[in-house]
Copies of this chain bind each other. A is one copy, B any other.
């Protein structure tokens, strides 16, 4: 991968990633809603990664990484510990690229997530629900199989893949004053910030985080890395800490990180289901919740909102 003098993925490497994955992912639509435009007195463009392959933006990074692997590594398979969208995306990408994905999951993972990984042909190893147990299990899997570990976000190939989402959005909409993007480990946010930096430097990138998992906000404001300890939020895709590669990009290229409460997240999620008739997951509702919070005046402005995914357990909706 080509880098800038600071060692970050450069413009060309993001472009190459977008071209590399184009045949494997959906070019997702940027939808609008007259009702939600009225609510903020501006124009909102919703980048629908809930319609992405495997139901979330994670397919972008997964494909870019797998397609970047040397052939022998790809053949040996890939591995990760995750119970979320990265696991599903990795399993599906491995299936399409005719290799294997070894997924370490806590034995407490919801059945719906286990089934999704199985549906995509992922080979699951269950472990105790602690980070230590997950890492130990992953090491064992790797030792046994020779698979390559694919980190969910702290990898420039992943970041460059996720960057294609905002790159598309900036092509779909003529001018954006803001992009609101969720932040967990920071793969999507750092990719978004790089794309805005290279293709639309006047666009302000706003990281959006639950109050109950506000480590990225604290890390951003204090400029000191704050890990995510005992996060508590319905937005289960945003529980993780920033990474050593994502954090510096976010510090340098993100304009602000704002937080919202659980009620706001659930209410934004429900509003999208009711008004836009599309299914988004709680994590994906966080950027809209920030946009609706009034913390940034959107009157007369154009803003992109990244709906990061749509993988929800339909038996356990947060408003019930």
Number of copies: 2
CB distance from A288 to the nearest CB of B (A): 15
Q: Which residues of B contact A276 (CB under 8 A)?
A: 51
Contact (Cβ within 8 A) A277 B55 = yes
A270's contact among B51, B277, B314, by CB below 8 Å, is which? B314
- In the bound complex, do residue A319 and residue B310 qualify as a contact, i.e. CB atoms below 8 Å apart? no
CB of A38 to closest CB in B, whole Å: 12
Main SS class of interface, A: loop
Q: Tell me which of B50, B274, B315, B319 contacts A277 (CB under 8 A).
A: B50
Given contacts A314-B319, A319-B315, contact A277 B279 (CB under 8 A): yes
* A123 interfacial by beta-carbon distance below 8 Å: no
A319 vs B245: C-alpha distance when bound (angstroms): 43
Residues of B near A310 (CB, < 8 A) are 277
Q: Is A278 an interface residue (CB 8 A)?
A: yes
Contact with B along A186-219 (1 / 0, CB 8 A): 0000000000000000000000000000000000
With a CB–CB cut-off of 8 A, which chain B residues contact A143? none
Contacts of A319 in B (CB 8 A): 314-315
How far is the CB of A305 from the nearest CB of chain B, in Å? Answer: 16
Q: Quick one: CB contact mask for A273-315 with B, threshold 8 Å, 1 for yes?
A: 1101111100000000000000000000000000000100011
The distance from the CB of A107 to the nearest CB of chain B, in whole angstroms, is 23
Q: How far is the CB of A95 from chain B (nearest CB, A)?
A: 13
- Interface size for A (C-beta < 8 A) is 18
Chain B residue at minimum C-beta to C-beta distance from A112: B274
> Which B residues are CB-close (under 8 A) to A274?
279, 314
A274, A277, A317 — which one has the most chain B CB atoms within 10 A of its CB?
Answer: A277
Q: Is A320 on the interface with B (CB-CB < 8 A)?
A: yes
Residue of chain B at shortest CB distance from A310: B277
Report B-chain residues with C-beta under 8 Å of the C-beta of A50.
277
B51 near A277: Cβ-Cβ < 8 Å? yes
**A55–B273 alpha-carbon span in the complex (Å):** 11
A-B pairs, 10 with minimum CB distance = A277-B310, A277-B279, A50-B277, A278-B278, A273-B279, A51-B277, A273-B314, A277-B278, A279-B279, A270-B314
23 contacts between A and B (CB under 8 A): A29-B29, A50-B277, A51-B276, A51-B277, A55-B277, A270-B314, A273-B279, A273-B314, A274-B279, A274-B314, A277-B278, A277-B279, A277-B280, A277-B310, A278-B278, A278-B279, A279-B279, A314-B317, A314-B319, A315-B319, A315-B320, A317-B317, A320-B320
A interface residue numbers (CB < 8 A to B): 29, 50-51, 55, 270, 273-274, 276-280, 310, 314-315, 317, 319-320
